[in-house]
Amino acid sequence: MTLADYNLKYLQKGLYWGLKPHSLVVDSVKFLPLNAKILDLGCGEGRNSLFLAGKGFDLTAIDIAEEGIKKLKKFAKKENLNINAYVSDVKSYLKNCQEFDAIFGINVLQFIDQNNIFSVIKKTQSKTKPNGLNVVASFIATSQKAKKAPAAKGRYLFGKGELKKLYKDFQILFYEEKMGDWETHKQPRHRHFVVRLIAKKAT
């Protein structure tokens, strides 16, 4: 989908992705320090940000879709949650932002092209405080052939084991590659091959 498509989806009543947080986000909470300052990249309508803010963490959330940010702010106000939410693309925001105790990239990296994906990963790591976490969920390709169609649309899919190599200087707390769960989110039933990682930066 294009940015216009996402904005159109987010204009609809309710939350397009629902309120239930991603399972990796839920699993990561046990690794987070109290009052952690967290950045949620590509937050969409904010289901993960709302969950984390509800746990007492200090949340900053960004997304390129203006209607998603509007909806996040609306739900945050309704739930009396303080979330700093901004309209921005990942690369631009990481360029000048502060450091965080944890940076989440849940299903956003697959939308970044090959020319920028590796610099985004490096910048994400550099903006993570010592002992801080990176929590990543993304689509991956099982072959070079499977990379071609997304690449033609300006999207980069990691290959098998590639994300783990990019985090070789971090302590890997959790890592898996698998066929994801069946999804619908108002589309035909489908699923993706995914990689999930929780990694801790060295001191």
The tens digit of pLDDT for each residue in 77-112 reads: 999 999 999 999 999 999 999 999 999 999 999 999
**In the chain, domain spans:** 3-11+22-200
Tally of residues, the chain: 203
Task: Read off the DSSP letter of residue 183.
Answer: B
- SS3 of residue 12 by DSSP: coil
**Residue where the block lists tokens 């070789």:** 168
Per-residue pLDDT tens digits for 48-58: 999 999 999 99
Cβ-in-10-Å burial (0-12, 13-18, 19+) of 28 comes to buried
- SS3 of residue 126 by DSSP: helix
pLDDT of 182 above 50: no
Task: Please report, rounded to a whole number, the percentage of residues in the chain having pLDDT higher than 90.
Answer: 73
Could you tell me if 60 and 38 are in contact, meaning their C-beta atoms sit under 8 angstroms apart? yes
Distance in angstroms (rounded) separating the CA atoms of residues 195 and 163: 8
Instruction: Give me the pLDDT at residue 62, please.
Output: 98
Backbone φ/ψ region at 44: left (φ over 0), alpha (ψ -120 to 50), beta? left
The fold of 3-11+22-200 is: Rossmann fold (3.40.50)
